[in-house]
Amino acid sequence: MKNEATADPLRVLIVDDSRHFLDAAREVLQGEGLTVVGCASASAGALQLTHELKPDVVLVDVDLGEESGFDLAEHFATTARVRVVMISVYSEAELADLLVASPAAGFVAKSELSATAIRKVLGRATRCRDS
């Protein structure tokens, strides 16, 4: 397994209906060494960009305005076969039942969004799958 310092940058697509959050998240994650390959504000754009850009992971906001991020995560699990990390302003405890039922690899609160948090979630998901 590659060590995090020498690993290829993780390629990330961010899906959120807030342009302000998309811009801030892109800046933070790129500043921490991840490659943000794209951003989308709705499911249709996210699906198209995932097909075109083939990210390693898609960060999906739980609440996409009129759409559900959980529905998008389900779609990714059945069609795109891409790892999904759910994000939200809500806490993990508030979303626990929905997260357990979701195919997402895990969850990161928006207030704690970082490259380290994403890698940690993906590492846990990989260990669970390998067990």
Query: Would you say residue 22 lies in a domain?
Result: yes
HSE toward the beta carbon, residue 60, CA cutoff 13 A = 33
Domain span at residue 18 reads 11-130
CA–CA gap between residue 101 and residue 80 (Å, rounded)? 19
CATH classification at residue 75: 3.40.50.2300
Query: Would you say residue 1 lies in a domain?
Result: no
Kindly report which listed range (60-74, 100-114, 116-130) carries the lowest average pLDDT score.
Answer: 116-130
Q: What is the mean pLDDT of residues 76-83?
A: 88
pLDDT at 126: 52
- The total domain count for the chain is 1
Total-model pTM: 0.89
